[in-house]
Structure 1
Amino acid sequence: MEQLERLSLVSRIATELHNHWGISDKDLAEFVLHLGEESQSLEEFRAKLKANGSAVTQALAVSLYTSISKFVAKSKKAKAAAASGSTSSGSSGIGAKNGVSPSPVKDSKDEQVSPPGSSTNGSKPLPASAFSVSQHPPTEKELKFPGLCMQNRFDRPELQLARPDDHAPLSAAAQRLLEQEKDDKELMREQQEAFKRAKDGYWGGDHNSSSKGGISATGANALPIGGASGAAGTAAAATGAADENLNFCGKRGAPLERYGIYDGVVSRVMEYGAFVQLDLAEGRREGLLHVADMSRPDGGPCVSADAVRKGQVVKVKVHAIAGTRLSLTMREVDQATGRDLKPRNLQGGTSSSRAALFESLAEEHAQALEKKGLGRITGVKINLDSTEEETAYSRKRKLMSDYDKWEAQQLQRSGLVSSKENPYYDEEAGGILPVQEAEEDVEIEVVDEEPLFLRGQTTRAGMQLSPVKIVANPDGSLARAAATAQTLAKERRDVRQAQEAAILDSIPKDMSRPWEDPNPQPGERTIAQALQGLGQTGYEMPEWKKLYLGKNVSFGIKSTLSIAEQRRSLPIYKLKEQLLKAIMGNQVLIVIGETGSGKTTQMTQYMAEAGLVTPGRLIGCTQPRRVAAMSVAKRVAEEFGCRLGQEVGYSIRFEDCTSPDTIIKYMTDGLLLREALVDPRLQRYSVVMLDEAHERTISTDVLFGLLKECCRQRPDFKLIVTSATLDAEKFSNYFFNSSIFTIPGRTFPVEILYTKEPETDYVEAALITVLQIHLCEPPGDILLFLTGQEEIDTTCQTLHERMQRLESANPPPLIILPVYSALPSEVQTMIFDPAPPGCRKCVVATNIAEASLTIDGIYFVIDPGFAKVKMYNPKSGMDALTVAPISQANARQRAGRAGRTGPGKCYRLYTEAAYRCEMLPTAVPEIQRTNLENTVLLLKAMGVNDLLNFDFMDPPPVQTLINSLETLFELGALDDEGLLTKLGRKMAEFPMEPQLSKMLLTSVDLKCSDEIITIVAMLSVQNVFYRPKDRQALADQKKSGFHQPEGDHITYLELYRAWQRNRFSNAWCYENFIQHRALRRAQDVRKQLISIMDRYKLDIISAGKDYKRICRCICAGFFRHACRVDPQEGYRTLVDHQQVFMHPSSALYNRNPEWLVYHELVLTTKEYLRDCCTIEPLWLCDVAPKLFKPADQQRLSRRKMRERIEPLYNRFEEPNAWRLSRRQGKR
């Protein structure tokens, strides 16, 4: 038994070494075990490891020594049971936390080892840190879910991924790809600028120092890189050293090392750089010296032909090694002395030779994986033997019956039909597609084994976990009204469609008969001309939209005041001195103020003017939406008096508009979270302002915990949390009972009116209330809250029709204005215009008008008490928008909208009892009702493993965390111990969901990264195709021309290629009903992804027409979304056997492939699959062996066991009357 335990420990140590060093060697693991058994303390163990040439980190030493100590203590106890104290002496002071993770090790000074950057001074004690190991006894939840409360480890090698320089020049390959993304206008503009520079340079006098051939008369002027190298280069050029036996100077035959400096000879000079030959120990190697890595004596940019010449001897540094390719640089080497101007070390605290040794071992491990047919990065099984020609023949084709095949063959043999007209002719391959044999019926099953660190904690083990409630009383009147509203909305939609169909059916279809008839009836041709083309439109803009939205379109809120006067008119201006005093006196400050008070735009400027920006640091302000970050930054730059991107800039995903001069930076909260991944202490920022914190997005909630820890570690750091709601005590209690600064607004009393009985149809009740206010109440605008676009459009249409019926009573005009996110911004700003005299304005809005917008002139608010909430179902893995009751805080916020201009009224279309008993006190934050896979991956990349005790303001549900960890384990981002792998760390670097990151990294192994980058960029935008209601048939016809048999992903790829072939033309997009703005956005994302891939030295290779590789990459990322055709209807998901249906807009609609994967699952009238891609079933076992396995052919599969015999329908008998058990007694 002891031998088995020893073998298990050796295997565990080998896994740990593989995770940290990338080396999987059992002999090395046994040697480490031997050193641990001979060591009496942790320091002695680390010293022995260092003496044997291994620079081990503190975290790795603690992990290894803890495991070895436990084994030694257990073996001693078994051998000498009488010696009870041997366990403590053998463990050397190392304990275990909850039996899962070791507690912090104490060094020789008996001081607890703290996380990097933690405060250890003797100042006043800080509150308990979210990153420190909890010392309290384990709770019931911690004992129940040990996989969620592992010890935080911040110095693991997997977390210390080398960050590339964001401002480093791109490689030549990446620049060529970016050149292909330029349209004709950009190329023409660059040519004009280049011509202008050349012209200015010529007339500036540079031509006087050169001869007719363009070569300088003197060797010193010909070679801008002077010194010994220049002289040697001149001599080499003079002797014609252009052949293979080039003369080298300096050290020869040195081994190749990264960041090593060598003497080389320029062999070729190109436009984008030069190739330099190096004489190494393993032979001659040639590397690329990019033009950006060259330098002139004055340090400025240069052209490759001006910087080096063929045959010149230069001193270069090896910047990167990628297989047989070398990337060289001259900028970091003194060409006169060969001194390294920018010395680097691969691992802190170790010598360069030792670091190079570990890097070479990791490279050998990657090469060993490659020899086994596995990917170097992801370890996915690869098979790249198929050629493009083979792939072209293996593409899908339409099925034909035997009779159709025979008929096609006879027509071709007779000569009436050419081979190109054969249905099986392939234009790409230039031949007839071979006859495909019937595919073998492959059965794939889901692996039942749980991850080791989650064993007994998942739903597979029978763990019953209750989801978070978003409704206080599921059986109350509000819940019933929400359920009824969906049924009524469907009925209204059906009635409207029936009316439109009846109008079209009443129109005569044969419009040409009156023109063909030589003797038509009087007036018949006139009627035909009036009705001609009416049935083809299919859509006409409603009258209310023409009346209210077609006129007086404005862009932005108009103001006649100057910028300085507008700033002084804001409520925050009067409190400037008090606000700055509060910021100076508090490290954390909570600022409460209504929308429009000036918090977002003015506070950052006040702090910059007060000198809170230290040299080299910024003032950061987060926004929950990227559009808000861009628009606010533009406004602040205008007020600050600078260009956008200079002193004031913004950063959003895939777009950075900042410069070294930036001191005020607006960004999305997700981007600041990614910056915290690199720098947890946020050293670049002196002040961070979390704006709109009341929206409680996922990134904001995670930033709460990270910034709270940052305040503990940095006394000079200041945090400001702003909110538009009155729930400030919760924020203050969370942030160390911090001070609250309130910006008083113009508030007036609001009268609250409730209904006496619950309303079954709140839309109808809202319409009646609007008309009642309009006809009976004094002047004042109305604000009506509804849930979505369809509901708002229906209400506006109905309200307009009812106002038309009241024209006989001569009521005052009512201007109806909708507000929802899909409306153009210029139309949305119409709500800010005051109503004309004698008119009343009725704004029908979603919950965006609660706190994000302030509309002057509102005196009456109608609150039905509902809003659409995005809810994530961990069981089905699907996000769904459901109509749910709002919270009491939202109801108070809505009522407050009526008291901004004067005393107002709020009509609540629910009872007071429902308000008190059926509404939650505050809204459920997004972190408790959304998928958390990306959030958990980021926390793991920061070293936070104790998710259960992380300092969330509102902890997420345990079931969602467990499912997220399970998904990351299946993707290969976590190992068997729940720790982050090297693949997971690389996945965390990409600003996208983990599935897309895995797909992108797999494409590097499968050599199709160019196409996958395009697909990821296209998936990041929405609504690429548009379908105008007046030309739906033509739009569908144009869209079908891009459809590919492999699915929607390849359709997006071919669409982008077609746009690229047409030189990115907007006219081409208009002709094909494509949103050119969406394609432009996808192009920007593609450019950013190319830059990211290039900086991380990931190859960008095209697979051409080999779509199998591309589909395999998609399967590697979205294997959990695999589906198979259901014999009854639709598809069945492989993981949870849920019945789903293909969306009608998919390229695979009505094709019904046997196997597919989807990108997302949406719930409308059914569970629809969006963006589908065909796959082969055996790919699932190759890319996800932890989740799928081939079914045993000797036994009946689970899918076939679930199938049941469904008899034909018989209206004369019961459904089960055919069974023998029901036929007893019948003859």
Structure 2
Amino acid sequence: MIRLLAEIHKYSSLIVIGETGSGKTTQIPQFMHEVKLDRDGMIGVTQPRRVAAMTISQRVAQEMNTTLGELVGYSVRFEDVTSKCTKLKYLTDGMLLREALLDPLLLSYSVIVLDEAHERTVHTDILFGVVKQAQKFRTERNLKPLKILVMSATMDVDHFSHYFGNIPVVYLEGRQYPVQVFHAIKTQEDYAFSCLVTIFQIHKDAPPNWDILVFLTGQEEIEAMAYNIRLISKDLEGKCVPLKVYPLYSSLPSHMQLDVFRPTAPGMRKVILSTNIAETSVTISGIKYIIDSGMVKNRSHHPGTGLDVLKVQRISQAQAWQRTGRAGRESPGFCYRTYTHQEFDSFRKNPIPEIQRCNLTSVVLQLLTLGINPASFDFMDKPPVEYVDGAIEQLKQLGAIESTVSPKLTATGHLMAQFPLDPRYSKIIISAKDYNCVQEILTIVAMLSGESVFVNPPAKREKAVAAQNKFYSTAGDHITLLNIYRNYNNVAQKKIWCQDNFLNSRNLQYASKVRTQLSELCERCKVPMSSCGQDTEPVRKCLITGLFMNVAELQREKKYVTVGSKQVVSIHPSSVLFGSRPHCVLFTEVVQTGRCYLRQLSLIDPQWLTDIVPEYARKHRLTSYAS
């Protein structure tokens, strides 16, 4: 570590490659603090995920014998646990990017550590350029210098080193134990079922306290499997060690995420069902077995259609090895892959950087707020030109910029940048004052910010539907979410009420917290509170101001087609409008399984499009077939 500190002192930028388990994320910032590298500003350590920022900061605070929020703190979206005396700050890359909007030179920091750099999230890729520029400007203006540390367990070292000006690389030895890998003998048709079978094959024979971590793709899949595991383990009571199931996904409330990290009680077994959130950064003690579904849920942007599509797809080989490594953190482990060796060989070597497959509207808005022209920004890997052009066009349609030729933010654009949201939702919130429905829109946007609030256990599906039915609105899913939140907000015994109505109290709690934050932002941005009461028409009209590109209409042959891109789509079975065939709908997202499904819909009148976005309506004429 002395040699590493000497290298950090010597160079203004450095790449640190440390195997999973080398302690780079928790120890290096502490060593830098000990040698007073935070004398002139904080040491900021970025993480791609909120759960990592929270758990790592807790652990470091514990090791340094300090209260979390004092010397060591964290900052994630909608939650800031820091104070004036914070010196080590763990934060999501998105939060550091938001700080850069107010302070482009990042003057409150003396060191920025870009951790888990290989993940290449959109925010991380933008941060590379922003931090590099801040360092350069501070040097040119004789301001206090900024040190940059780029850390990862695995990465294309030459590519990173070249981007930061051929900076040196330091390799740390890890404490990784051997992990035995087993592949499926033949291709599995249902990866979730294979995972379930494997869990109980292990559970039957493994000693107690040898815990299992299973990689799945999303909340619904995780909750369904958790339900099945609890059901099966009831039948095994007395025959096997007791089994406790813990879900882990990003929208899980903080205290629930932290339950995962508590040691398993003696004589028991813990099964953690996680999205790729547990792939890097976080160490969960006691994990002996990994079960890898080989799948991940990714959001991809299709510039041709203008749609963002959520799709479950294969992971890369690099991700597979990251998952495998989770079992060898404290002792030798085992990894069961539900795919064959041949299938593994066909996986991509590395995941595609998010910036090359995502909608860039948020990114372009942030760059313009920083006064940076997206066309000339120093990207590590340039996004496709049509993605940048599409984002600029969308910002013009939203009224955030006046011209696509030399984009400059309008007053609306500056306001939109204040909200940590997709620009379309920021626009909806800002427009809500014109429709006198700010309260209602804040609720809907907050409800859309987390995972689904519905709980549909397979064995009680009919009961669940009957209970949830009273909230359903013929106007669609957005108003249904509004009804749920209004009722939730008016009851005292919230947890019991949620159980009775088959609703997820954790996700409603999260929505409530998000709503409070958005409400405070509205106050700061001078957006006055207003309510339209029981009249849902203003709410649905207001949703059009940001989501007018997401409209589909029913054709003569009873199929839905998106108005902008003429893509054939279907209403998702989870929608309250499923089976009712309304003429014209506005939707929040597209999910692709076999077909393309629309999720979170509202019933709209085609005339509203002409009234609210006349230019868009003129270019994208609706047909007049009624259902």
Q: Same fold (TM over 0.5)?
A: yes
Q: Does 1:883 align with 2:325?
A: no
| Secondary structure of the structure 1 residue equivalent to 2:471 | coil
Q: Does 1:594 align with 2:19?
A: yes
In structure 2, the partner of 1:507 is none
| Alignment check: 8 A CA contact 1:820 1:848 kept | no
Size of the alignment, in residue pairs? Answer: 605
In structure 1, the partner of 2:367 is 939
Shift of 1:622: 1.6
CA distance in 2, matches of 1:1068, 1:843: 27
Shift of 1:993: 0.6
Q: Does 1:956 align with 2:383?
A: yes
1:818–1:731: structure 2 CA closer, same or farther, 3 Å change rule?
A: farther
Report the more deviating stretch, 1117-1126 or 746-755: 746-755
In structure 2, the partner of 1:650 is 74
Coordinate RMSD, CA, aligned: 4.3
CA distance in 2, matches of 1:1051, 1:646: 42
1:817–1:928: structure 2 CA closer, same or farther, 3 Å change rule?
A: farther
Q: Residue 1107 of structure 1 is aligned with which of 522, 536, 556?
A: 536
| Secondary structure of the structure 2 residue equivalent to 1:1187 | helix
Q: Residue 1002 of structure 1 is aligned with which of 419, 425, 431?
A: 431
In structure 2, the partner of 1:927 is 355
1:825–1:684: structure 2 CA closer, same or farther, 3 Å change rule?
A: closer
1:1132–1:706: structure 2 CA closer, same or farther, 3 Å change rule?
A: same
In structure 1, the partner of 2:600 is 1171
* Structure 2: unaligned runs, 5 residues or longer: 140-144
Q: Residue 503 of structure 2 is aligned with which of 1074, 1077, 1082?
A: 1074
Shift of 1:1177: 1.6
CA distance in 1, matches of 2:474, 2:289: 55
CA distance in 1, matches of 2:510, 2:287: 37
Opposite residue 593 of structure 1, the aligned amino acid is G
Write the deviation string for residues 774-812 of structure 1: whole angstroms up to 9, x where unpaired. Answer: 9999999797976547599889989x99xx99xxxxxx9
Q: Does 1:965 align with 2:392?
A: yes
| Secondary structure of the structure 2 residue equivalent to 1:681 | coil
CA distance in 2, matches of 1:751, 1:708: 40
The 5 A counterparts of 1:329-728 are 575=1, 577-614=2-39, 617-715=41-139, 716-725=145-154, 727-728=156-157
In structure 2, the partner of 1:33 is none
Q: Residue 572 of structure 2 is aligned with which of 1143, 1146, 1164?
A: 1143
State the structure with more CA Rg: 1
Write the deviation string for residues 816-859 of structure 1: whole angstroms up to 9, x where unpaired. Answer: 987763596587458978989xxx99998765565445577888
Opposite residue 39 of structure 2, the aligned amino acid is T
| Secondary structure of the structure 1 residue equivalent to 2:618 | strand
1:614–1:1067: structure 2 CA closer, same or farther, 3 Å change rule?
A: same
Opposite residue 74 of structure 2, the aligned amino acid is Y
Opposite residue 354 of structure 2, the aligned amino acid is E
1:833–1:890: structure 2 CA closer, same or farther, 3 Å change rule?
A: farther
CA distance in 2, matches of 1:1150, 1:775: 44
The 5 A counterparts of 1:814-825 are 821=248, 825=257
CA distance in 1, matches of 2:211, 2:515: 45
| Secondary structure of the structure 2 residue equivalent to 1:638 | helix
| Alignment check: 8 A CA contact 2:264 2:286 kept | no
In structure 2, the partner of 1:298 is none
Q: Residue 1134 of structure 1 is aligned with which of 560, 563, 569?
A: 563
Shift of 1:621: 1.8
CA distance in 1, matches of 2:228, 2:538: 51
Shift of 1:1068: 3.8
CA distance in 1, matches of 2:623, 2:60: 60
Shift of 1:979: 0.9
Shift of 1:688: 1.5
CA distance in 2, matches of 1:1120, 1:1166: 20
Opposite residue 685 of structure 1, the aligned amino acid is Y
Shift of 1:1026: 2.6
Q: Residue 1056 of structure 1 is aligned with which of 485, 500, 504?
A: 485
CA distance in 2, matches of 1:779, 1:1168: 43
CA distance in 1, matches of 2:604, 2:622: 21
* Structure 1: unaligned runs, 5 residues or longer: 1-574, 806-811, 1192-1196, 1204-1227
| Secondary structure of the structure 2 residue equivalent to 1:1157 | strand
1:842–1:1019: structure 2 CA closer, same or farther, 3 Å change rule?
A: closer
In structure 1, the partner of 2:584 is 1155
| Secondary structure of the structure 2 residue equivalent to 1:1189 | helix
CA distance in 1, matches of 2:51, 2:589: 24
CA distance in 1, matches of 2:188, 2:168: 45
| Alignment check: 8 A CA contact 1:971 1:1184 kept | no
In structure 2, the partner of 1:361 is none
1:1128–1:818: structure 2 CA closer, same or farther, 3 Å change rule?
A: farther
Write the deviation string for residues 591-649 of structure 1: whole angstroms up to 9, x where unpaired. Answer: 2223343333333333233222235x322222222232223333333333443333332
In structure 2, the partner of 1:163 is none
CA distance in 1, matches of 2:223, 2:550: 34
| Secondary structure of the structure 2 residue equivalent to 1:614 | coil
1:1047–1:639: structure 2 CA closer, same or farther, 3 Å change rule?
A: same
1:635–1:909: structure 2 CA closer, same or farther, 3 Å change rule?
A: closer
Opposite residue 614 of structure 1, the aligned amino acid is R
Write the deviation string for residues 42-77 of structure 1: whole angstroms up to 9, x where unpaired. Answer: xxxxxxxxxxxxxxxxxxxxxxxxxxxxxxxxxxxx
| Alignment check: 8 A CA contact 1:846 1:867 kept | yes
1:786–1:814: structure 2 CA closer, same or farther, 3 Å change rule?
A: farther
In structure 1, the partner of 2:142 is none
| Alignment check: 8 A CA contact 2:211 2:289 kept | yes
Q: Does 1:1117 align with 2:546?
A: yes
CA distance in 2, matches of 1:970, 1:1080: 34
Opposite residue 60 of structure 2, the aligned amino acid is V
1:922–1:1064: structure 2 CA closer, same or farther, 3 Å change rule?
A: same
CA distance in 1, matches of 2:600, 2:18: 43
The 5 A counterparts of 1:97-496 are none
| Alignment check: 8 A CA contact 2:245 2:270 kept | no
Opposite residue 1138 of structure 1, the aligned amino acid is Q
Shift of 1:681: 0.9
1:726–1:1122: structure 2 CA closer, same or farther, 3 Å change rule?
A: closer
Q: Residue 408 of structure 2 is aligned with which of 970, 974, 980?
A: 980
| Secondary structure of the structure 2 residue equivalent to 1:1024 | coil
CA distance in 1, matches of 2:223, 2:553: 38
The 5 A counterparts of 1:842-857 are 850-852=279-281, 854=283
Shift of 1:669: 1.0
Opposite residue 501 of structure 2, the aligned amino acid is N
| Alignment check: 8 A CA contact 1:859 1:903 kept | yes
Opposite residue 425 of structure 2, the aligned amino acid is L
CA distance in 1, matches of 2:175, 2:517: 45
In structure 2, the partner of 1:991 is 420
| Secondary structure of the structure 1 residue equivalent to 2:487 | helix
Opposite residue 1096 of structure 1, the aligned amino acid is C
Opposite residue 706 of structure 1, the aligned amino acid is V
| Alignment check: 8 A CA contact 2:285 2:330 kept | yes
1:1064–1:578: structure 2 CA closer, same or farther, 3 Å change rule?
A: farther
Shift of 1:579: 3.3
Shift of 1:1119: 0.7
CA distance in 1, matches of 2:222, 2:68: 39
Q: Does 1:1020 align with 2:432?
A: no
| Secondary structure of the structure 2 residue equivalent to 1:650 | strand
CA distance in 1, matches of 2:502, 2:228: 28
Shift of 1:1050: 2.6
